């Protein structure tokens, strides 16, 4: 009998968001996620997987053929490596048709040292980029 597979350190394998305009979404995420050193690792008709080493974030047309819609209260947060990456993520998203949902800055109400920015993608999905910094560095 084989031994059980070792569980990964993280809790999630991947997250997927639907889109109604795949080419637009692909162009948006290719550039916005590049600001966080995240790239498209898998691409197929109607869907793409992004990550640094493994596709952890997906955009795709809904499998059931229905319309994609943004979930109220749902958001995806990407880990950034620096304050500069958070700012670049936010700026690039706005440049490419995203909407501001919270500018780059410290969020001490979350926890000391929490630095983040929030945007809505062109389909209305809420995205965040964050990192923990020394409170005085933000």
- Judge whether 32 lies within some domain: yes
Task: Give the CATH number for residue 122.
Answer: 3.10.180.10
Phi/psi for 16 (5° steps) reads -125, 140
| Residue 75 pLDDT > 90 | yes
β-bridge partners, 131: 115
β-bridge partners, 40: 50
pLDDT per residue as tens digits for the range 93-106 = 999 999 999 999 99
Percent pLDDT > 70 in the chain is 91
- Judge whether 69 lies within some domain: no
- Judge whether 25 lies within some domain: yes
- Judge whether 67 lies within some domain: no
- Containing domain of residue 27, as a range? 15-62+75-137
- When pLDDT is cut at 50, 70 and 90, the band that residue 127 belongs to is very high
Domains: count for the chain: 1
- Judge whether 10 lies within some domain: no
- Judge whether 29 lies within some domain: yes
Q: Report the distance separating Cα 68 and Cα 124, nearest Å.
A: 10
Phi/psi for 5 (5° steps) reads -65, 145
- Judge whether 118 lies within some domain: yes
- pLDDT confidence of residue 12: 79
DSSP string, 50-98: EESSS--EEEE--TTSS---PPTT-EEEEE-SSHHHHHHHHHHHHHTT-
- Judge whether 70 lies within some domain: no
pLDDT per residue as tens digits for the range 108-123 = 999 999 999 999 999 9
pLDDT per residue as tens digits for the range 42-63 = 999 999 999 999 999 999 999 8
- pLDDT confidence of residue 26: 97
Kindly report the pTM of this predicted structure: 0.87
């Amino acid at each position: 009998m084989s031994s059980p597979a070792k569980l990964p350190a993280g809790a999630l394998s991947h997250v997927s968001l639907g889109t109604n305009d795949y080419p637009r979404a692909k162009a948006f995420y290719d550039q916005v996620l590049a600001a966080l050193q995240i790239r498209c690792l898998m691409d197929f008709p109607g869907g793409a997987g992004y990550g640094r080493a493994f596709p952890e974030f997906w955009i795709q047309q809904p499998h059931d053929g229905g319309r994609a819609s943004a979930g109220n209260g749902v958001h995806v947060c990407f880990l950034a490596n620096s304050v500069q990456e958070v700012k670049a993520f936010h700026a690039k998203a706005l440049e490419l048709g995203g909407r501001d949902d919270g500018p780059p800055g410290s969020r001490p109400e979350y926890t000391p040292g929490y630095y983040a920015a929030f945007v809505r993608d062109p389909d209305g999905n809420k995205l965040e980029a964050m990192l923990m910094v020394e409170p005085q560095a933000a």
